[in-house]
Structure 1
Amino acid sequence: MKPIRFVLGNIILFLDFIFSPTGIKRLDEHQDRVDAETASLCVYELEMCPFCVKVRRAIKRLSLKIELKDVLEPKNQTELMAGGKKDQVPCLRITQADGSVQWMYESSAIIAHLEQHFSSVI
């Protein structure tokens, strides 16, 4: 099973590279505002996971600067398990202004959240 995942994962990464989405263009002051808002976001992911690729493509399409953390690194895996309590990727960590943290799973929910908050800022 691992060899099949490895081959399919590399095919997905290759196709993502070839057909990479173009980011939206914003006025500099709007992009600065978006960058400030996304500073409180972090995505825990695996490079070859197709659902993580889907989220990364949405991040690129929306021209967002969101920190990506690979859960193959033990420190990142520990953070995910300590905070989110689930060993599942992709996971979006949202740190609120008051310091509270929300953990969002499921690629479709993450993309919907990002589009709702950032697609209309041009």
Structure 2
Amino acid sequence: MRLFVRLFFRFVRLILTPFMLLTEWLTTPKAISRSQEQQVKVDKACEQLALYQFSACPFCIKVRKEIARLGLNIEKRDAQHHAVHRQQLATAGGKIKVPCLRINDGQWLYESDDIIHYLRQQFAAASAIE
């Protein structure tokens, strides 16, 4: 019975994943506008960040859409298919759970709403060109 349930959900994920990724691609918002100097500062600050994620995770999609909206160049690390990133997430972060934002000072944010709140605080539209 467990094998059947596992295969069923694997099949469901196989069917839904392309639709989720297509929906993300179609509904990703346009990035906010910044001056070139402001964008350079933002890009420099983003070098301190890395997002550990799974490609079809709905919470990861939510975070990636906010990253796109804010116009951030944050490194995305696939913890599902890359053993090195998965191991980093487990050892340094403490658990294999995505999405997870690694901030260079050793802080790890695990909840999508917490990550979005942090990104909005750091890179809010106050620096955007109106």
Fold equivalence (TM over 0.5): yes
How far apart, in 2, do the equivalents of 1:93 and 1:121 lie?
23
Corresponding residue of 1:121 = 127
Uncovered stretches (5+) of structure 2, i.e. residues with no partner:
1-8
CA contact (8 A) 1:9 1:50 kept: no
Corresponding residue of 1:79 = 88
More helix by percentage: 2
| Residues 1-122 of structure 1: pairs in structure 2 closer than 5 A | 1-71=9-79, 72-96=81-105, 101-119=106-124, 120-122=126-128
Q: Secondary structure at the match of 2:119?
A: helix
How far apart, in 2, do the equivalents of 1:91 and 1:76 lie?
11
Uncovered stretches (5+) of structure 1, i.e. residues with no partner:
none
How far apart, in 1, do the equivalents of 2:11 and 2:113 lie?
27
Q: Secondary structure at the match of 1:93?
A: strand
How far apart, in 2, do the equivalents of 1:104 and 1:92 lie?
5
Q: Secondary structure at the match of 1:92?
A: strand
Number of residue equivalences: 118
Q: Structure 1 counterpart of 2:102, which letter? A: R
TM-score by length of 1: 0.93
Q: Deviations over 1:28-85 (max 9, x none)?
A: 0000001111110000000011110111000000000100000120010011111101
* Matched-pair identity in %: 38
Q: Which has the larger radius of gyration?
A: 2
